[in-house]
C-alpha cells in the first residue's frame, strides 16, 4: 500500500531532540483541525459522527474530541470500558463474535450492539430484548456489501470468504425483524467515490426496510480530512440519504480524526554496509509500526530527500523482517541521528507491542501554536514484564 497521507504540517519545524527516543508526538492543533472538518460535515449534512477507538484511543484528548463528535465505536469489552471511563457520548459496539461472559456488561455500556450475522442475534435474542424493552439498547447487523474496492485484498472487508459482516446477497426479509439498524464498513483510506459505489450495491436490498430501520451506519475508512476528499459530494449524499431513508445516518471514522497529526521520533543506533548502507534504529516496524509489515506499506519520513544514497532502515529486534524501508535521509546516515516518520498518530499507537523486549515509545502532546509540549505517557521495562508471568 502507498500511504495516502504524510503532510509534515507544523512538524516540519519541530526539533526532534526535544523528546526522548523513541517517542510518539501528537499535535493537538492538527487533531482539532481534523475534528473541525468533521463537525462541519455533521452540521451541513445532519449525519452523526463517531470516533472508532480501534484507530485512535488517545484518551488524554477526550475533552477535545467530546467537543466535536457524537460518540464512540468499540470493538469489544475493553474498548467499551475505555470509552465509558474517559469519553462522553453513546457507545456503538461491534465485534465479529462476542464472548457470552462479556455480553451483559457490553450491553450495559453500549447504545448500539451490532452483530456479525443473524444467527448471533437469534442466539441471544431473549437476553437482548430485555435491554431493548428498557429503551437502552438498539440491535444492529453488520452486512458485507460484497464489492471489493480496497487496494490490498487482505485489508478489504469484501475479500472472498470475508469474516466481517453477513453477505448482502444472503439477506432475507426475516433477518430485519429484530433490527434497529444496519452497519457496513467497506473502505480503507478511500474517497467519496468508493462510498457511493458501496451504497449503490446495498441500497436495493435495504430499500424495502427503510420504514422499519432507525439508523444506518456507513462505517469507517473515509479519508474525509484529506485535502483531496470531495467533502461537498459527501455532504450532499448524506443529506439526501437521511431524507430518503428517514434514518439517522452515522459515520465512524478513526484515521480521519488523527490524520497527519502525529509523528514517531527515533534515533539511528548503528550504520554499516551490506551492499548498501544499513541503519539500525530504536524504532521497530514489528513493535511500533506493525502495519508496515502487515499491510504492508512504506511510511513517509520527515524531511526525506529526493536525491542521494538510500539507506535501509530497520529495527533493533531479532526478526529478519523488521525492516521499515529504504530512505534518502536529510543528511548522511550516522549514529545518533534523529529521524521521524509521519502520520503515526492513528493505528501505530494502538498496535504497539513489546516483542523481543523492545521498549515502547513514550507519548507526547504538542501544541504547535503555543509550542507547549508535555509527556502524557511513558513506559519502563515493567510494561514488558507485566504482560508475562
The domain spans of the chain are 9-25+261-385, 46-258
Secondary structure class of 276 (helix, strand, coil):
coil
What is the CATH code for 46-258? 3.20.20.10
Percentage of residues in the chain having pLDDT higher than 90: 93
Cell numbers describing residue 309? 544514497
pLDDT of residue 367: 98
Top-confidence residue, 182 or 129: 182
Query: Is pLDDT of 1 > 80?
Result: no
The C-alpha cell that represents 109 in the structure block = 455500556
SS (H, E, C) 316-362: CCCCCCCEEEEECCCCCCCCCCEEEEECCCCCHHHHCCCHHHCCCCE
Distance CA 141, CA 116 (A): 6
Cell of 82: 475505555
| CA distance linking residue 211 with residue 93, whole number of Å | 24
**Given a cut of 70, is residue 104 above it in pLDDT?**
yes
Mean pLDDT of the residues in the chain: 96
Average pLDDT for 138-156 = 93
Local confidence band at 2 (pLDDT 50, 70, 90 cut-offs): low
Q: Above 90 in pLDDT, residue 132?
A: no
In tens, the pLDDT along 302-325 reads 999 988 999 999 999 999 999 999
Q: Is the pLDDT of residue 164 over 90?
A: yes
Residue 251's nearest CA partner among 282, 286, 225, 289 is 225
Closest C-alpha among 350, 353, 345, 362 to residue 35 = 345
Closest C-alpha among 82, 84, 92 to residue 112: 92
Question: Phi/psi zone of residue 275: left (φ > 0), alpha (ψ -120 to 50 degrees), beta?
Answer: left
DSSP state of 161: T
| pLDDT beyond 80 at 135 | no
What does the pLDDT read at residue 5? 74
- Residue 130 confidence (pLDDT): 86
With cut-offs at 50, 70 and 90, classify the pLDDT of residue 349: very high
In this structure, whether the domain defined by 9-25+261-385 belongs to CATH 3.40.50.300 is answered with: no
Which single residue is written with the C-alpha cell 534515533?
267
Q: What is the pLDDT of residues 27-66, one digit of tens each?
A: 999 999 999 999 999 999 999 999 999 999 999 999 999 9
Amino acid at each position: 500500500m502507498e500511504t495516502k497521507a504524510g503532510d509534515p504540517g507544523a512538524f516540519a519545524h519541530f526539533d526532534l531532540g526535544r523528546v526522548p527516543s523513541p517517542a510518539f508526538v501528537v499535535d493537538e492543533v492538527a487533531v482539532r483541525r481534523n475534528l473541525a472538518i468533521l463537525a462541519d460535515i455533521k452540521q451541513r449534512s445532519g449525519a452523526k459522527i463517531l470516533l472508532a477507538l480501534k484507530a485512535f484511543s488517545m484518551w488524554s484528548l477526550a475533552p477535545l474530541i467530546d467537543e466535536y463528535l457524537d460518540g464512540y465505536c468499540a470493538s469489544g469489552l475493553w474498548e467499551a470500558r475505555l470509552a465509558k471511563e474517559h469519553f462522553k457520548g453513546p457507545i456503538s459496539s461491534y465485534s465479529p463474535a462476542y464472548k457470552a461472559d462479556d455480553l451483559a456488561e457490553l450491553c450495559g455500556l453500549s447504545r448500539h450492539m451490532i452483530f456479525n450475522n443473524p444467527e448471533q442475534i437469534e442466539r441471544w435474542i431473549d437476553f437482548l430484548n430485555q435491554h431493548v424493552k428498557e429503551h437502552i439498547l438498539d440491535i444492529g447487523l453488520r452486512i458485507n456489501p460484497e464489492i471489493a474496492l480496497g487496494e490490498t485484498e487482505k485489508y478489504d472487508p469484501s475479500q472472498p470468504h470475508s469474516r466481517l459482516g453477513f453477505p448482502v446477497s444472503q439477506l432475507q426479509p426475516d433477518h430485519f425483524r429484530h433490527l434497529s439498524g444496519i452497519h457496513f464498513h467497506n473502505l480503507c483510506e478511500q474517497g467519496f467515490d468508493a462510498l457511493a459505489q458501496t451504497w449503490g450495491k446495498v441500497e436495493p436490498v435495504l430499500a424495502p426496510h427503510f420504514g422499519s430501520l432507525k439508523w444506518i451506519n456507513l462505517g469507517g475508512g473515509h479519508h474525509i480530512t484529506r485535502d483531496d476528499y470531495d467533502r461537498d459530494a459527501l455532504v450532499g449524499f448524506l443529506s439526501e440519504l437521511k431524507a430518503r431513508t428517514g434514518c439517522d445516518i452515522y459515520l465512524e471514522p478513526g484515521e480521519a480524526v488523527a490524520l497527519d497529526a502525529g509523528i514517531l521520533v527515533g534515533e539511528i543506533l548503528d550504520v554499516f554496509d551490506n551492499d548498501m548502507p544499513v541503519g539500525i534504529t530504536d524504532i521497530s516496524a514489528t513493535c511500533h509500526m506493525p502495519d508496515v509489515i502487515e499491510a504492508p506499506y512504506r511510511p513517509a519520513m520527515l524531511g526525506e530527500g529526493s536525491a542521494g544514497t538510500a539507506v535501509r532502515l530497520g529495527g533493533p529486534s531479532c526478526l529478519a523482517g523488521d525492516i521499515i524501508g529504504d530512505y534518502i535521509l536529510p543528511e548522511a546516515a550516522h549514529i545518533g541521528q534523529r529521524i521521524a516518520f509521519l502520520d503515526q498518530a492513528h493505528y501505530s499507537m494502538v498496535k504497539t507491542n513489546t516483542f523481543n523486549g523492545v521498549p515502547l515509545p513514550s507519548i507526547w502532546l504538542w501544541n504547535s501554536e503555543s509550542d507547549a509540549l508535555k509527556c502524557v505517557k511513558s513506559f519502563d521495562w515493567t510494561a514488558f514484564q507485566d504482560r508475562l508471568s
